[in-house]
């Protein structure tokens, strides 16, 4: 096998691992990775607006709103207008949302982060440089994506750029 084929196989293996983890999460909990990320951000932030959630999770506000809509329809999240500032709406986990979140596995990127941080700084920089180069070679460096491992559909960001949802 040529070296370029080995690189492509490794990329496909990464994509497949992400896809399998996403499918397992969906099968076990009925949640997607981004939904789980939003729920964790709500839990960790306490009283939080959608705008703050989108910033905390590196998602567009439109994407965060869509995810909150789906979680709210399932009874996992609720919105409440602020008592102090009626213009603000806060997201909260319901009792069912807290229960489901307590049973949820750690995200795939958690294991990656632990292993990545155990590397020497020069190894971390080498990997970052290599992955950024691969992204550039695939014309993907302009895609606006959140820093979580999830296979998803490509949508459009508020600023007109593509994003993976």
Dihedral over Cα of 11, 14, 15, 16: its sign: positive
For residue 154, what are the β-bridge partners?
A: 164
pLDDT computed for residue 94 by the predictor: 95
To the question of domain 31-104 being in CATH 1.10.10.10, the answer is yes
Domain range annotation of the chain: 1-29, 31-104, 106-141
Q: Is 162 helix (H, G, I), strand (E, B) or coil?
A: strand
Alpha helices in the chain, H assignment, sequence order = 3-29, 33-45, 50-57, 61-73, 95-103, 108-117, 121-137
Query: What pLDDT digit, counting tens, does each position of 23-69 carry?
Result: 888 888 888 888 998 999 999 988 889 899 988 888 889 999 999 99
pLDDT computed for residue 108 by the predictor: 72
Query: What pLDDT digit, counting tens, does each position of 110-155 carry?
Result: 788 899 999 999 999 999 999 999 989 988 877 766 566 554 544 4
Q: Is the pTM of this model over 0.75?
A: no
pLDDT computed for residue 72 by the predictor: 96
Q: First CA to last CA across the chain, in angstroms? A: 33
């Amino acid at each position: 096998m040529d070296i370029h084929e080995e690189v492509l196989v490794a990329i496909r293996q990464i994509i497949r691992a992400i896809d399998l983890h996403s499918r397992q999460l969906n099968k076990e909990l009925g949640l997607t990775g981004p939904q789980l990320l939003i729920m964790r951000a709500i839990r960790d932030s306490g009283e939080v607006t959608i705008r703050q959630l989108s910033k905390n999770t590196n998602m567009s506000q439109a994407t965060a709103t869509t995810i909150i809509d789906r979680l709210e329809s399932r009874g996992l999240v609720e919105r409440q207008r602020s008592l102090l500032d009626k213009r603000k709406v806060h997201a909260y986990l319901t009792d069912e949302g807290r229960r489901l979140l307590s049973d949820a596995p750690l995200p795939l990127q958690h294991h990656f982060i632990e292993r990545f941080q155990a590397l020497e700084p020069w190894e971390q920089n080498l990997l970052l440089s290599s992955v950024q180069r691969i992204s550039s070679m695939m014309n993907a460096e302009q895609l606006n994506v959140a820093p979580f491992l999830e296979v998803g559909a490509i949508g459009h960001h508020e600023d007109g750029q593509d994003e993976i949802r």
